[in-house]
A and B are shown apart, each in its own frame.
Chain A
């Protein structure tokens, strides 16, 4: 960072000194912006030819560092990001989170998942073709009625009141815009959730559940307390009873790939996901029994290390960018999750 600051300060100092003299020093035969604009662009390392064969073969960074007689000053290779953010005006600014020296840096992605590639190459174009609605040229969408209701009546108190929510509930549901190549539904994440009521008496259940969730999802599991006591279920307020793991990005696709290709086909007499599942904004949840969770390859490979009968079942919520369940179901069907029974949108 010292280097970074030095460069920044040196640059600004130079700039300050040079500024008045730079304008008169412009060459007379200046080119237009349009001519040879490509040459003006910053040269990319991709266009530069690679180093010659012998340089490549003889380059050994470890030997080079060992052959150095005097150790480099620590400021050349050791940098610690500031522990606390002290505001935008502080001279010592933390590096961006994408910088490996940042405290917030998370490595990744590590691969290009197969399901993601299939989505890009096959599923998304097909979904667009399937859900396309043709509007004749010159079509203008009809004006929509106001979504919030006004207060009808003679009461003088209705005047200037904020509008009422829609019938049947206070929250406005998501709008579904016409389908274009920009808003094809895609999978944004998966949340695993496992409720372990036995953990009230014996926390070992919770630990095992956490290990299983971490193993199959590749993300750190978080635990949750019971919010209130329920006598019939044996719940006590404040006791840790459930585990969740929420995946995003690459992990999602790896998890779904395993789920669809390895686990689901091996569940005995599994009918599919219930057609009524969904929160009407594009997120669909289904459950797996404990035998099915044990079928995940990460659990199966060292099944003996988990205490017997402690592997929990779990709920899997697949989050998608679809704005209604109909589109979300179409997306999940296209990646290979079957649905059964009555369908609710």
Chain B
């Protein structure tokens, strides 16, 4: 699709610019700029120029007061893991699974296990123990007289995700020696559904038949979490992490720098990322539009870059960026940064000033 037709300038021209109400400087500048594409529509152009004639030219002889425009980067690492469920959610999902077990047609056993094969014997042993084809709903007979007792009691281990994962993995452990008689005896003696113990080391070979160990899941809490390492990207795997840096004034902010020359916000964001965190980061700046801004008035006016220019304050426009790989390295940064941290949303609140927090809080994801 032709992006030229849907740009703000084109839209504004079609709508009959200038519109009523306040217009920011960059919008005005962008709209009043002549391009060859617009020159084709000469009639429209002349009319627009006439309409814009009351807008002051960009350069003026008297001393100019303006805000310093800066580009900030909200560099984030998205959550890598699913979130922990609320106890109510856990109980609800288990209850729904048991209801499903009550309402579903019986398991088509012979489609999955041929009669008389070792897998069939193994299947019979498992079902005898847990009374249901489902592997992760505990010992529950949906078709029996006590099928009505399907609700989970308070503190039941069956509702815990860890227990469910463990029982699924335990089910996947197939005995290597497939001697039917031995296996069924063993199974009747120690039904895995009933006598489950969470701390039991998995994959331990039992006395009679050896059990093939199934690889266990990695822990959801990492060493960085336990040590409280704020610089690691492996911390808080369920949350979005944001890069915060300590700037020259000793404040924690998102990395930012003023716009140089004719670069736009997207280019500036890419430059800031390289100048702040080094080249060892695989990043992606999402989109061309900022997701938030922060404005700050200087206590006293400062001289600007050009002569006769005064700066009233600074306006930081935040661009969204994602980190795919790598890690920040501040040793060769050109922005005068001294430290960095990867923080989740609520940790940012305590690290930054209240004013800054109010400006940035709504552009950070809850999770």
CB contact under 8 A between A110 and B289, given known A56-B155, A117-B82, A139-B19: no
1/0 contact trace for B16-49 toward A, CB 8 Å?
0001111110010001000000000000000000
**Chain A residue contacts of B22, Cβ below 8 A:** 137-138
Give the dominant DSSP class at B's interface: loop
Q: A132 in the interface, Cβ–Cβ < 8 Å? A: yes
Contact-residue bracket for chain A: 35 or more
**Chain A residue contacts of B240, Cβ below 8 A:** 121-122
1/0 contact trace for A334-345 toward B, CB 8 Å?
000000000001
Q: A96 in the interface, Cβ–Cβ < 8 Å? A: no
Residue of A nearest to B19 (CB): A138
Q: B56 in the interface, Cβ–Cβ < 8 Å? A: no
Do B15 and A305 touch (CB < 8 A)? no
Interface stretch (choices A3-11, A22-30, A123-131, A282-290): A123-131
Q: A168 in the interface, Cβ–Cβ < 8 Å? A: no
A77 to B146, CA, bound (A): 13
Do A136 and B12 touch (CB < 8 A)? yes
Do B1 and A345 touch (CB < 8 A)? yes
Interface size on B, residues (CB 8 A): 46
**Chain A residue contacts of B78, Cβ below 8 A:** 118, 121-122
Residue of A108, A135, A211 near B8 (CB, 8 A) is A135
**Chain B residue contacts of A232, Cβ below 8 A:** none
Q: B51 in the interface, Cβ–Cβ < 8 Å? A: no
CB contact under 8 A between A109 and B19, given known A61-B149, A121-B365: no
Residue of A nearest to B137 (CB): A110
Q: A70 in the interface, Cβ–Cβ < 8 Å? A: no
Residue of B21, B24, B93, B367 near A111 (CB, 8 A) is B93
Do A125 and B365 touch (CB < 8 A)? yes
Question: Which A residues form the contact surface with B (CB < 8 A)?
Answer: 50-51, 56, 59, 61-62, 77, 100, 105, 107-112, 114, 117-118, 120-122, 125-126, 129-142, 211, 302, 305, 326, 345
Given A61-B151, A110-B100, 6 new contacts (CB under 8 A) = A108-B100, A117-B82, A118-B79, A129-B287, A137-B19, A142-B11
Q: What are 21 A-B contacts defined by CB distance under 8 Å?
A: A62-B146, A118-B78, A120-B367, A121-B79, A121-B367, A122-B79, A126-B320, A129-B289, A130-B286, A130-B287, A132-B287, A132-B289, A133-B6, A136-B19, A137-B24, A139-B19, A141-B11, A141-B15, A142-B11, A305-B112, A326-B1
